[in-house]
Amino acid sequence: MERLETLLREAFPDASDLRVIDRTGTGDHFHVLVRDSSFDSLSLVDQHKLVYAALEEPLADGTIHELRITTKGTSP
């Protein structure tokens, strides 16, 4: 989980909220939440693409078996 959080913090250094949750306790099923102003003008699909890009390595090497993503901008 720490590795995932580090990768996300590098990709979204100005995130106002960033969480990685191990959903099953097995260390390979995660839910990530990222709230960042860079998402304000992007579609949900484009927001999620940025998260997938940040986590490309652990997705490719099998560290992440299942991933749920919640993204939010900072605009009201």
pLDDT reported for residue 75: 83
Q: What pLDDT is attached to residue 59?
A: 96
Q: Name residue 52's amino acid.
A: Y
Q: Each residue of 19-57: pLDDT tens digit?
A: 999 999 999 999 999 999 999 999 999 999 999 999 999
For 21-63, give the DSSP string. Answer: EESSSSSSEEEEEEE-GGGTTS-HHHHHHHHHHHTHHHHHTTS
Q: What are phi and psi for residue 75, nearest 5 degrees?
A: -70, 145
Q: What is the pTM of this model?
A: 0.93
Q: Provide the token pair at 40.
A: 């304000």
Q: Which domains does the chain have, with CATH numbers?
A: 2-72 (3.30.300.90)
Instruction: Look at residue 28 in the predicted model and tell me its pLDDT.
Output: 94
